[in-house]
Structure 1
Amino acid sequence: MSKSAEGDAAGAKDKNLVHSLAKGFRVLETFTAEEPDLLQSEIARRAGLDDGTTFRMLNTLVSLGYVAKVPGTRRFRLTLKPLELGFNAIARTALRDLARPALRSLVGEVNEAASLGVLDGADIVYVERAQAGLVRMGVDIRVGSRIHAAASAIGHAVLAFLPEEELENVLRASRFDRTGPGVPQSPDALRARLAQVRREGVALIDWASVNGLRVLAVPVLDGSRHAIAALSVAAPAMRLSADEFVAAVRVPLLAKAGELGLALAAAG
């Protein structure tokens, strides 16, 4: 394609964008779990907008119920309304309903939590979760939480069974700035880790020295043996050694992932 043709294509694409809507989403995306409350000036800086535009965007989002003012302060925070959009998307699939019994069956004396995650870009999004009573774990994972795929057991379980083209796209979008036991620090290191997961069928992240947890994950495969999701279980490291943990949960976890893959195939 010539440069002029490329410019025409870019211009046509740009004309199809609603820039004010894009700016509104940039404002929403400035809020994080680590910093849920922000000043207008902080939002403007993070969204790359001037103060006047940010002021108008915030007032519009407040009036629509997506953002709220923090009482007694000059700060803003997200409401729960944006969650409705994500939950509506999740609810359109049978994945959660089919996975829920499997997750519940995996929680017991050893495992305190079981999760189902799907790949979204370079992240894993948790779409269903089961917990055993009052869980006291050093992580805050819930439905809708995101975790970097390259730095997590559940992510490794999915990535190890992706088609090569999809895996390459994820690698290009991944950051390798996360540290911790078993976290690959480069694309080559991640590929070596994924080869191990393919051989063993499971992905283990042993965070005993960090937050006292061990996590084991397995892929949920389609008929072509490509990952469409992953199941994971988490348990306090004090209960079992890493080898004992894997020995105790590997077989039932693989069995439930296999059942879920067959159920999804049957459900179309």
Structure 2
Amino acid sequence: MGNSITASGSSASAAATTSASDTNGTPRHTPSRSKTVRQAPKSAPTAGPRTSGSGHAERVFLVQTAFAELGGSAHGPGEIAEFTGLDDSVVYRILQSGIYQRIFERVDRGLYRLRTSAAQLAFTALDHGLDGATSQTVLRELRMATDGGLAFLYMVAPFSGAQRQCVDMAVGDSDLAELGMTPRDVLSVTRSLRTGASGRTILAYLPEVLQQRVLAEPVPDQAGPGVFRDNDALLASLAEVRDLGHALGYEECMAGWNSCAAPIMWDGAIMGAALLLKLKSVMPVAPDNVIEATKEAAAELSRYGAARPAADQP
């Protein structure tokens, strides 16, 4: 196809499927409101598997999760109640309590959203994550295993769930000029999840609401000749990424360079991608050893970054 690959497919792991969100439209059993059972409409996102929701703590978590699953900037109690199956009055009380606890904020009459302070919880949760020495070791090993390929670590951007940024690399003496890129290119092309093997790898495991946001974005002007411009073809490539657990990119970000990427998953959520880049003249098609080395590097970064119990715990 001149873009992505022989294949880039679905879920590198069973855990990865959880981050792609349930969108099969199957009605779920939800807690009753007096005598009526409420279900999310088929056209709306459906909440993840859960128990009866009888406990207050579980109800609070359901409301918090609804904001992430529904997407968008703000939601009303009725919409959240419809999604979670909770009673409107219960949702309203949770939202009011959450305002006092600085978890939610009212942005308009009857509309609420998560406060930015909720991001502090995410940063705290990631405190156990990768350090620079670890990622450098893994990327250098990937570079050696691929005969001098350029190895990069891309992570989901911390202030946007629909972009990426390069946080580490092992490129030897290479620099941006040798890659045919400028700092402006890095900020425009390589941050988009529409472009490149690493971008599509991350995009493949994001919730559908975030995927739709990316699909609505224009293709960066500086993208390479192999970039996916048709949204249907792009979506098909994401299914391949989840199926095979890796993506192959052919001149997607820049002319003359091909790539291979694999997902980095922490606790079932997509966090980034390991990327291997080589000149098209050297790697017209990614051989099996490059694919396997890239997937192993991503798996290693996943093992280091995922939360693990303390040594004295079972």
**Aligned-residue offset at 1:258:** 0.8
Q: Provide closer, same or farther for how the CA distance between residues 207 and 132 of structure 1 changes in structure 2, counting only shifts above 3 A.
A: same
State which of 263, 266, 269 in structure 2 corresponds to 1:219.
Answer: 263
* 1:246 is the counterpart of 2:287: yes
* 1:262 is the counterpart of 2:306: no
Q: Give the alignment of 1:1-268 within 5 angstroms.
A: 9=107, 94-97=129-132, 98-108=134-144, 110-120=147-157, 121=160, 122-134=162-174, 136-140=178-182, 145=187, 146-172=190-216, 174-176=217-219, 178=221, 180-207=224-251, 211-224=255-268, 226-242=269-285, 245-266=286-307
What is the DSSP-based 3-state SS (H/G/I as helix, E as strand, rest coil) of the residue aligned with 2:194?
helix
Bigger helix fraction: 1
**Aligned-residue offset at 1:267:** 5.7
Query: Larger relative contact order (C-alpha < 8 A, sep ≥ 6)?
Result: 2
CA distance in 2, matches of 1:115, 1:96: 15
What is the DSSP-based 3-state SS (H/G/I as helix, E as strand, rest coil) of the residue aligned with 2:261?
strand
Contact 1:111–1:233 (CA under 8 A) maintained in structure 2: no
| Superposition CA RMSD, Å | 3.5
CA distance in 1, matches of 2:220, 2:281: 28
Contact 2:129–2:306 (CA under 8 A) maintained in structure 1: no
What is the DSSP-based 3-state SS (H/G/I as helix, E as strand, rest coil) of the residue aligned with 2:282?
coil
Structure 1: 4+ residue segments shifted above 4 A: 8-11
Contact 1:111–1:234 (CA under 8 A) maintained in structure 2: no
**Aligned-residue offset at 1:255:** 0.9
CA distance in 2, matches of 1:96, 1:113: 20
Contact 1:110–1:235 (CA under 8 A) maintained in structure 2: no
Contact 1:181–1:205 (CA under 8 A) maintained in structure 2: no
Q: TM-score, normalised by structure 1?
A: 0.56
Alignment-mate amino acid for residue 290 of structure 2: V
What is the DSSP-based 3-state SS (H/G/I as helix, E as strand, rest coil) of the residue aligned with 2:229?
coil
**Aligned-residue offset at 1:141:** 6.6
**Aligned-residue offset at 1:233:** 0.9
Alignment-mate amino acid for residue 149 of structure 2: E
Q: TM-score, normalised by structure 2?
A: 0.49
Contact 2:258–2:279 (CA under 8 A) maintained in structure 1: yes
- 1:86 maps to which residue? none
**Aligned-residue offset at 1:257:** 0.8
Q: Provide the identity percentage.
A: 25
- 1:75 maps to which residue? none
What is the DSSP-based 3-state SS (H/G/I as helix, E as strand, rest coil) of the residue aligned with 2:218?
coil
**Aligned-residue offset at 1:206:** 1.4
